[in-house]
Amino acid sequence: MYGIEYSTTAISAITDRVLEALQEWQYRPLKPCYPILYLDGIHYRVKEDGKYVDKCVYSLYSIDVEGQRDVLGIYLADTETSNAWGLVLEDLRKRGVEDIFIACIDGLPGFKTAIQEVFPKTIVQRCIVHKIRNSVRFASDKDRKKLCSGLRKVYSSSSEKEAIIALEIFEKAWGKQGQRIADLWRKDWNELMAFMDFGSEIRRIIYTTNPVEALHRILRKVTKSKGAWISEKALIKQLYLTLKHSEHSWKKKAFKHKAIQAELADKFGTRYTKWLYN
């Protein structure tokens, strides 16, 4: 634009100045309680030992007791596994986190166990949206919308008892296909229906991992034009700079946070209020 050229080495040296700030941010002390935490992975390609390999970035997007959203950290690993998530959660514990009320996750095997080994009191909510996608992925185009509509009656029920009845109706209406899908839901029923124990405002924000996926869309908007990174350091550096540049998009109060606070206080009582007024 201005007729000035920089070598890749010079650009790298300039951007390396953020590494100290990145490290300070990544290891900063955290608040003792995060009532709601979204956990999800996003994948990138990174050069390693002369070839490009897939890497998983672990994202932790939270809502604190005052309704403020924040990214607690970004962690890099070779693949997304429940054991690796356990190590990430152990790091949160070391950084000062004592309590997480609700963890919103996708369908990674062993994820719930990994969370509750570190935070035993945490309620784990599995993403309904992910479950619907997996349930109808083999359905024909003409059936997909109707199947989604039928499943909506299950997860939008006013109580778990009504949801069970709605699933039985869905199963009978769709024959063998309905039985296959109903079996998938029953297998993960407790995690899928955890949100039924809460009021409408909390249900609205925990039944899906969409908030952390929205965060990932912000990252992808900046990184989509780049096929791969020359190193893990280069990738983490760009993700950190993207997060800092776009704070106005993701670092804000949760919608209707006062109503959410009231529902948390009603559900968790002194377990919540002691952190709110601490």
Scan for tokens 């299950």, then name that residue. 154
The mean pLDDT value of the chain amounts to: 93
Judge if pTM exceeds 0.85.
Answer: yes
Higher-confidence position of 17 and 94: 94
Give the tens place of pLDDT for each residue, 120-150: 999 999 999 999 999 999 899 899 999 999 9
Q: CATH: 3.30.470.20, 3.30.420.10, 3.40.50.300, 3.90.230.10. Which one for 19-127+209-278?
A: 3.30.420.10
Number of H helices, E strands in the chain: 15, 5
- Tens digit of pLDDT for each residue in 69-83? 999 999 999 999 999
Measure the CA–CA gap between 271 and 100, rounded to whole angstroms.
11
Crossing angle of helices 232-245 and 210-223, in 10° steps, is 110
All structural domains of the chain with their residue ranges = 19-127+209-278, 128-198
How many CA atoms, within 13 angstroms, populate the side-chain half-sphere of residue 168? 6
Q: What is the mean pLDDT of residues 248-276?
A: 94
d(CA 121, CA 134): 28
The string of DSSP codes covering 128-192 is HHHHHHHHHTTS-HHHHHHHHHHHHHHHTSSSHHHHHHHHHHHHHHTHHHHHHHHHHHHHTHHHH
- What is the pLDDT, as a whole number, of residue 119? 98
